[in-house]
Structure 1
């Protein structure tokens, strides 16, 4: 059965793997003691991912985003991007640790080509974890091969980190590289950073019950579909499986009871731009808050 995405859905993401070769202290995958191993022991084969993608019916303005972790570490990555139906357009979120020449040789440009106000291949730069000189070289190489590629970096709370990012952005823009910054999310040295729609939803101190509905289709490495990033990263409460014959996006559209308000992942409740780069979007809608007594830790790990 086809999985037809509706007009209210803003994002469809396949997390091919949560494995990563970087060790960023502020990794959003690890917010609030999440772990890369909590999505279950089973992982989807390349055939399964291809079958799952081929079920999708997407709008022209909504690609299938491939992410992780570092998605190119998934051993079936090149099979996947080549064998999914040609009309499925993809975006790639990557730290660009892959071999650029191999990528150019094995990936058809058309897969990551579409009209959008941002690059389909979005490279994350993490100072101290990956090398900006290497990222610049690879980005220029991919651009020359026809891939629209941009570099993104989080603006770190520490002044030295912010200054470096601003200098790097200026340099990249002069080189013709689309370099954009992203807001730092979560706690750093006891201070909460980020712009959130719902008060006390991130590192809130106490858990609350609520009803929550998402605008996103988030599929973990085992194929389970989750209502939010927090559930995906913590491996809890999937709403279905992407290969279930009876799974439809109606499962996504439901308000569902949640007992974890206050321990939300920043990605779910931050105020941000939508797929059209219009600011003011939030991934989830929350209502009917009810206080509980359980106190949660503010630690990131």
Structure 2
């Protein structure tokens, strides 16, 4: 073999080695890439949500202050995912009401286990203003989340007559990218608060309205004696605890207990034009002190009358309409 021939043989062997090494490296890269692409292509996402909105559609009252409904999150995808359950207020007739509705959520064994008396182990809590609970769900599996909402007795009184429209929706995230996120449609329901029943202290007053020109509301003094003082307040029917002081034209005394309400009375006119006064159904409250004008005071009677403006001017009648 000549020197030239020997060199060519060495070069050919070297080329063959380099080609194999390059080919092997290229094949290994392709195989790994193909495996990733094949896995992505084979993966799927999917969500089925079921919201028991009917038991969450509730009217809170002094005797009903908790509601509960199950939310089922089914992962129909081919890999595990993180779930989210969000509750928010779409609207409210009183701005503070959503924040007064406490929310608790926890996974339970079944929808039947989600009741108003269920103890939610490891519950995530917040308010209906904006609430989100999170967890995980395996591929092809479901989780049942019990959603409890509640109000305190004090807040039921504060927000009597108000209502809020609340929305629930769930979502799944398979990876940190939009293509790997799915969400269900929002399910909306309404929660209301019953108007609190106001029960006044004392006894009901009798009334004579003199055909609307003026009226006398009478209360009973159990033990007429000197040294007794009285004071009087007016309030709208809807806000009996927000009161305005009232001065009748003639002060009642333990032996003559009529409280006069006349259309021309300056104190009545002042009440009607005040921020806490209004035409229409009105409360009259009587407070009593046996220790002079310094009190202490005890409410002993209440009356009801109404005002309206006719062609002849302001008129007052016994009772409400």
TM-score by length of structure 2 reads: 0.17
Compare relative contact order (CA 8 Å, sep 6+) and give the higher one, 1 or 2: 1
TM-score by length of structure 1 reads: 0.18
Between structures 1 and 2, the one with greater strand share? 2
Between structures 1 and 2, the one with greater helix share? 1
